[in-house]
Amino acid sequence: LLGADGYRGFDNVNYSGGSAVRTTTYGSNVSDLWNVFKDTDEEEKIDYHNDGFVRWSGVFGQLEYSNDDLSVFVQGAMSNQGFQREEFFNQTPGNQKTDWKNISGGNIKGGANYNINAKSNVYVNAGTYSKQPNFDAVYINYGNNLNPDLKNEKVVGLEAGYGYRSSNFNFNVNIYKTSWKDRFLRDGVRVDGVNGNANYYGIEQVHTGIEFDGVYEISPFVKVEGMLTLGNYEYGGDVTADVFDSSNTFLGSSVIYLDGVKVGDAAQTTSRINLIVTPSDLFKFNISMFNASDLYADFNVEDFTSPEDEAMMLPSYDLFDFGASYKLDIAGETVYLRANINNIFDNYYFAESATNYEAGPGDNTYLGVNTRNKVFPGWGRTWNVGFTYRF
């Protein structure tokens, strides 16, 4: 609207001027324009105008048991959220506020650890979480329309692991699976040239993987640390939505194709190895290598409107870091000096991408990535120096 003489609005049924062109002039007082605490009652309302009210109550409890070899816990919580909506555009005074819609939720989780002997232990954890939907999922289509298909989001997590400890070697392995489903998404779409709103239900992510980490003391002066994560994060299943126009008239259906699509914005395979050398009680240094692979672009799931759509994979990368520390004794006090060089070889890499344009024939690319994308390079070579004084 900036620069226009006015606008014609059809959304507010309580506006006495009908569909006449409306104009509003604002001053240039910057402090007033950017004041987030000012009263907005007299400000111009465009396209929609409503208030949302949410109230919450809950209880929580936990039980634990442990002895020398076994520890067990169970934790649970229950909550109630109430939702109410007040509509100022599509409803006339006296009929603008809905009744409260109360939705229950909660979680329960438990776990156990068993020490097989002085060196080995096994553990298992499991939990489920029923999360109330967000406000936009309760009242849909920008009105006081209560969603007839309300569902709580459901998260189920399972993990199990093994640990080993000895005088010079420690090792852990962990396997996990997490499912997060029945998420809600609203998006504006066009059906046969008519604008409408699609309400998608049942969006699911499934994360599975295995993790390793360990420390091996080669000698009193040399130690090696390492970790490895192997993950598989995918969306589970395509999602179909009914589409309605602003009058809540059914227009048709819309599909987003997500089955098997990789989840973006987190490297699904990572590894790190760190060599620590301690020549004396006063001096030590370390050099490490980190690798990130199977990193996919971040994207809007509502853009996946074709079965051929897929997440763009970014190039894997390696980072080498170096650090050294020295301990000084000054007048009976201890001073620790530390210096670090990160990304020693100044490798250029993409840490993430906010867009998802695949490279096709004839497209301009850099490091194999379509240059239309909005990518975020990682830090180049950096360094820092610090000291700690203890007294």
List pLDDT tens digits, range 246-276: 778 899 999 999 999 999 999 999 999 999 9
* CA angle at 140 for the pair 235 and 302, rounded to the nearest 5°: 30
Q: Which helix (H) or strand (E) holds 283?
A: strand 283-293
The low-confidence residues of the chain, meaning pLDDT below 70, are: 1-28, 40-43
Tell me which DSSP letter residue 303 carries: G
Please report the pLDDT score of residue 330 as a whole number: 82
Residues in the chain: 391
State the sign of the Cα–Cα–Cα–Cα dihedral 299, 303, 304, 310: negative
Amino acid at 280: S
pTM for the structure as a whole: 0.85
Q: What is the pLDDT of residue 19?
A: 59
pLDDT at 4: 67
Closest CA to 156 of 205, 229, 211: 205
How many C-beta neighbours within 10 Å does residue 41 have? 6
> Who's near 207: CB < 8 A, 6+ residues apart?
176, 177, 178, 179, 180, 231, 232, 233, 263
pLDDT for residue 10:
60
Q: Is 138 helix (H, G, I), strand (E, B) or coil?
A: helix
DSSP SS3 for 137:
helix
In CATH, what is the architecture of 55-390? Beta Barrel (2.40)
pLDDT confidence of residue 140: 84
| pLDDT for residue 391 | 73
SS3 for 136? helix
